[in-house]
Amino acid sequence: MSNDLVVLDTGVIATIRLNNPPLNLFSKEVTVALNAALEAVEKDNAIRAVIITGTGDRAFCAGSDINEFTSLQGRVGEGKLIAENATYSRLANLAVPTVAAIQADALGGGLELALCCDLRVAVETARLGLPEVRLGVIPGSGGLQRLPRLIGLARAKELILLGEIIDAQKALDIGLVSRVAPSGQIGALSMSIAESLASRGPLAVREAKAALDAALDVSLEDGLARDLRASERVFSSDDMLEGTMAFIEKRPPEFEDR
């Protein structure tokens, strides 16, 4: 599936590529196209991992088209953010694990998009940040909520309130990305990670992702109870038996997601 703005390649590993160069800016049309791609991923039971990346070497995504801002005065929710937030949340809520392959700068809404992924890897030359306050606006597509959950409140305040843009190594140091790739190797790194994710027990991965996503929003006791129910489901599966026997027999497991 593809169109001019978002390209989706499916398989066991699906790749979603923003295709609005040079900066892959987020417009209404890109939002609609990305939402359609995510809907297709949701419906494809063969997919076990997703990579999202951008086109070109200037930006993974540099955020919103600032030229649209004046027309949004007084109606940014209706005109932009309601649909954008719904699409970003759709990405965050995918049952399968997701990897943001940040092949160039991820700024503003572009970093907010990457924050919706389970894992983020960046090329060493990438810059990352939420510089919206420099324009007199705020991150409106989840950054104010997702960034502090990821790197802690103090660091999130420093980045957002100062509008700081940091390099990939600094992003790695503070936990904003998990790995940094040399120039030209971000595709190979993200694919290697996605292949590892896809090779794990798919039911176990989905259950673990769901539990982790809920962990900071429930009490410890409620979280432990939820984990117990998830373990019961996993231990009722054929995949659990396959994984156990493969370990005992010293062979790779052949999971069938059942």
The total number of structural domains in the chain stands at 2
pLDDT score of 131: 96
Catalytic residue at 132?
Answer: yes
Specify whether 125 is located in the same domain as 226: no
pLDDT score of 64: 81
Cα–Cα–Cα angle for 171, 172, 176, rounded to 5 degrees: 55
Task: Kindly report, residue by residue over 213-251, the tens digit of the pLDDT.
Answer: 999 899 999 999 999 999 999 999 999 999 999 999 999
Specify whether 158 is located in the same domain as 119: yes
The answer to the question of residue 255 being in a domain is no
pLDDT score of 80: 77
pLDDT score of 69: 65
Residue 88 — left, alpha, or beta (φ > 0 → left; ψ -120 to 50 → alpha)?
Answer: alpha
How many CA atoms, within 13 angstroms, populate the side-chain half-sphere of residue 98? Answer: 26
- Confidence band of 71 (pLDDT split at 50, 70, 90): low
CATH number of the domain at 112, please.
3.90.226.10
The answer to the question of residue 257 being in a domain is no
Q: What is the mean pLDDT of residues 100-106?
A: 98
Asked if the model's pLDDT at residue 143 lies above 70, the reply is yes
Asked if the model's pLDDT at residue 76 lies above 90, the reply is no
Q: In angstroms, rounded to a whole number, what is the distance separating the alpha carbons of residues 211 and 20? A: 34
- Confidence band of 68 (pLDDT split at 50, 70, 90): confident
CATH number of the domain at 206, please.
1.10.12
Task: Kindly report, residue by residue over 212-222, the tens digit of the pLDDT.
Answer: 999 989 999 99
Specify whether 184 is located in the same domain as 73: yes
Specify whether 116 is located in the same domain as 227: no
User: 206: which strand partners?
Assistant: none
The catalytically annotated residue of 29, 39, 112, 221 is: 112
Specify whether 149 is located in the same domain as 237: no
pLDDT score of 75: 58
Catalytic residue at 249?
Answer: no
pTM: 0.93
Contact 156/171 with Cβ under 8 angstroms? no
Specify whether 189 is located in the same domain as 236: no
Q: What is the mean pLDDT of residues 143-168?
A: 97
The catalytically annotated residue of 132, 242, 249, 254 is: 132
Domain limits for position 150 = 6-198
Asked if the model's pLDDT at residue 46 lies above 60, the reply is yes
Complete DSSP assignment for the chain: -B-SSEEEE-SSEEEEEE--TTTT-B-HHHHHHHHHHHHHHHH-TT--EEEEEESSSSEEE--B-GGGGGGGTT-HIIIIIHHHHHHHHHHHT-SS-EEEEE-SEEETHHHHHHHTSSEEEEETT-EEE--GGGGT----SSHHHHHHHHH-HHHHHHHHHHT-EEEHHHHHHTTS-SEEE-TT-HHHHHHHHHHHHHHS-HHHHHHHHHHHHHHTTS-HHHHHHHHHHHHHHHHTSHHHHHHHHHHHTTS-------
